[in-house]
Structure 1
Amino acid sequence: MANSTHAHLRYNILDRCFRQKSYGFDKLLEVVNEEIAELYPGEGIATRTLREDLKVFRNKETGFGAPLPEKIRVLKYTDPNFSIALRPLLEYEQYLMNAAQQLLNRFENHPKYNKLAEALIKFQDEEELENEASRILLYDHNEEYKGIKHIKPLYFSIRKKQVLKVTVQGFKDTESKTFEFHPHILKQYNRRWFVFGLNNTEEIQEWSIPLDDRLLGYEELKEIDYIEATTNWENFFRTMVGVVKPKDAEIEKVVLRFYNGREKYFKSKPFQPDFEEFFEEEKQDQVWFETIINKELVQQLLSYGQDVEVLEPERLKLQLKEQAAALQQFYSS
């Protein structure tokens, strides 16, 4: 059996290497040790351990069954779509998952445990229940979303304070753009992920990049010093709905009146967490909050249909009126 020390880390490094490019054995050993040393200074593996890891990758019964031909000098998957992330857990990995769950049980009364427990349950449900008819959890997720593959490398780019050369192309753009980017934070909204940071090429402090097909690629710019964030991201997102902040946007007071008891739904799952209620008895169906006006706010309001009315500000009322008029054109005949 392969050396279990940092095995999960080694396997992920090797999987990425085999998917991205061809490696000779000696170069592969060098890359693996460099990445291990970044997280565990002074540590690494020997030639024997790497050879054992390759056996685990190739073994179809007790390993990953990877498309990694033997007796060739170049190491790379013959199937570019293969990844060990798509394979069932190995026996020792399942043992670690069970051990992790038992460890987390010690903290079941701690508020932070709830999210950890949810993540573990979701993972095990996907891993163990292959029959859809016997599935226990049906949670909201985007099966077509491909941006999840960017989260881990960008997370470590932020942790390691790496400057990136990023190439993006909007859905309506005819050409791509490349710029120097200093990533600061990852944010999820509406089942999509975004990375925020400094676009130093265009000198924009709070630049956002959606992690989807618009992100064409990125690589580290090692010769450039990383610039720390000056933005308080907690406050940045608390003053807006969603992730898009229009240029020169200002915070405004928004007052909403709900109908058909929908204020109860809003209060149990508010799209703006810092909302306030009115003390007056006749205003118990109303709430107010301070935010910027953007497309995501309008979209959330439209999701309530005829069960919400914007009382102020006036310009937000006008935007909703324009949206209603545009919808009426589709159904006027």
Structure 2
Amino acid sequence: MSSRKNYSIRDLMDACNRELELIGEYPITATNTIREDLEQIMANYPDAKIISRRVGRHLYYSYETENYSIYKIPLNDDEFAQITQTLSILSRFEGMPQFEWLDEIKSTLNIKISSDPIVGFDENIDLKGRDYFAQLFSAINNKQPLVLTYKNFKRNINQQFIVHPYYLKQFNRRWFLIGFSENIGRLSLFAFDRIEDITTSNCKYIPNTKYNFKDYFDDMIGVTRIDHTDIETVRIWVSANRWPYVATKPLHGTQHIISKDVSGVIIQIQVYINKELEQLILSFGKDFKVLEPESLKQTIAQQFCEALKNYQ
């Protein structure tokens, strides 16, 4: 219906079914579906006035305005502003491979984005491996297995892993790839800055059927989850001086108060215990004291003892 031509319900149904067949969807079998779609078009696009004309026993439909098309509707001011705002955010990825299309869209829509920054993101533009973002994003989208050459910092050696990529996650100004590693036999975490090289693998892609990454990180601080561990109840004493900061920026979504007095507040969170949690607790220094569990308490105490030796 891109010009003032007349189409019967059957014509419209046939055209829709041809498109549905191309994308592997089920065909439309009821003419009422088409009629409801026509009503929906007029409801969503007030300018799309559809008129009917009866010829014999059949009704034919066309746009009232010749050459009208819902695909040619100009953007209103609000829509244009929203697109400009979105492109401004996406422009953070400019200069990275496969994101050159941003310039093409801005040129097509004649959008000029100010070079003067008005929002500051905590982005590490010097992060090693940052250029892998687009390649890994594309591999996840296309379900393409990869061979990662990965550097083990502790052993200072390179290892190769066959990885089925599932998800990209940013934490503490670093990017991580989460995927199934054939070498390790489980879901694994790969930091961008340790990746030395990426090539494609010819093996069959193993899809993610187990993990919902919208929820996967809810029960932890950071990105590291150690296998065969359970969520634990962690209780921490917070000094009265530091409490206002912790109250307005909770350590975790499960944080709540156990008790409170003039010296400080005891809070409780329920999380997986990992290195990121330990580092967060250590960053608060003397204003934090782990009360439970005992294992975490001893780990933090030992870390402070080791740190103290550096100043003796």
TM-score, normalising length: structure 2: 0.61
Secondary structure, aligned partner of 1:240: coil
1:260 offset after TM fit, Å? 3.2
| 1:219 partnered with 2:199 | yes
Matches within 5 A, 1:310-325: 310-325=290-305
Matched, 1:197 2:167: no
Q: Specify the alignment match of 1:162 in structure 2.
A: 144
Q: Distance in 2 between matches of 1:325 and 1:127?
A: 51
Alpha-carbon shift at residue 241 of structure 1 (Å): 1.4
Q: Is the 8 A contact 2:152 2:159 kept in 1?
A: no
- Specify the code of the residue in structure 1 equivalent to 2:192: L
Using the TM superposition, give the Cα deviation of residue 150 of structure 1 relative to its aligned residue in structure 2, in angstroms: 1.2
Where does the alignment leave 5 or more consecutive residues of structure 2 unmatched?
1-22, 24-74, 95-112
Shift of 1:313: 0.8
Note closer, same or farther for the CA distance 1:143–1:171 as it changes in structure 2 (3 Å cut): same
Structure 1 residues 328 and 106: alpha-carbon distance in aligned structure 2, compared to 1, 3 A threshold: closer
Q: Does 1:128 align with 2:107?
A: no
Given that 1:249 and 1:292 are in contact with CA atoms closer than 8 Å, whether structure 2 keeps it comes out as yes
Aligned match of 2:129: 147
Would you tell me which structure has more helix in proportion to its own residues? Answer: 1
Distance 1:180 1:151, change over 3 A: same
SS at match of 1:327: helix
Letter paired with 1:236: Y
Match of 1:188 in 2: 170
1:207 to 173, 188, 210: 188
Partner of 2:79: 103
Q: 1:198-243 CA distances to partner (integer Å, 9 max, x unpaired)?
A: 0023211x2011011x211222224523322412323331121112
Between Structure 1 and Structure 2, whose CA radius of gyration is higher?
2
Cα-to-partner distance string for 1:298-333 (whole Å, 9 max, x where unaligned) = 11011111111111111111111101111211223x
Contact 1:255–1:311 (8 Å) recurs in 2: yes
Matched, 1:119 2:100: no
Q: Contact conserved, 1:237 with 1:243, CA < 8 A, in 2?
A: yes
Q: TM-score, normalised by structure 1?
A: 0.58
Change (3 A) 1:151 1:107: closer
Change (3 A) 1:324 1:117: farther
Q: RMSD over aligned Cα, in angstroms? A: 3.4
In 2: Cα distance, 1:101 partner to 1:323 partner: 57
Residue 245 of structure 1: how far off its partner (Å): 2.2
The AA in structure 1 aligned to 2:190 is I
Does residue 276 (structure 1) correspond to residue 261 (structure 2)? The answer is no
> Where does structure 1 lack aligned partners over 5 or more consecutive residues?
1-40, 42-98, 130-134
Change (3 A) 1:243 1:261: same
Summarize the Cα distance change of 1:120–1:198 in structure 2 as closer, same or farther, 3 Å threshold: closer
Distance 1:197 1:122, change over 3 A: closer
Q: 1:169 to 1:235 in 2, by over 3 A?
A: same
